Amino acid sequence: MADPLSTTFSALADPTRREILQRLSSGDATVGELAEPFAMSLPAISKHLTVLERAGLITKSRDGQRRHCRISVAPLQDATSWLELYRKHWESQLDSLGDYLASIHRPSTEGDHEETPS
């Protein structure tokens, strides 16, 4: 069994699933409403929703024959926390690189007018 973070990133790897989550970030929606903008069958959308549900990114509830979906933020918060560690690391690395590049490109006060031998 994969760890929860791997499952989250695997679910987020598909652009259709990311679009579904984007739509759900505006509020709950039925499966039909979620399927509407996509040129795919309802069973195909249901498969995407199952992947999102298994990853804990959405929850589904039933109201008669209608199935409603709601976004779950906990897995997204976990992924964001993990990514934040690396963002801080790379910002620090880029700051160091910027300082280094600035130091090697500073104009020198000595030897600015060196002559080339003829």
Q: Residue 95: its pLDDT value, please?
A: 83
Q: How far is CA 75 from CA 22, 28, 44, 80, 89, in A?
A: 15, 17, 23, 9, 22
- pTM, full prediction: 0.73
* pLDDT tens profile 85-105: 888 888 888 888 888 888 888
Q: What is the average pLDDT score of the chain?
A: 88
Domains along the chain with CATH numbers: 4-72 (1.10.10.10)
Backbone torsions φ then ψ of 94, nearest 5 degrees: -70, -35
Residue-wise pLDDT for 65-88, tens only, equals 888 999 999 999 999 999 988 888
How far, in Å, CA of 63 to CA of 82, rounded?
Answer: 36
Residue 112 reports pLDDT greater than 70: no
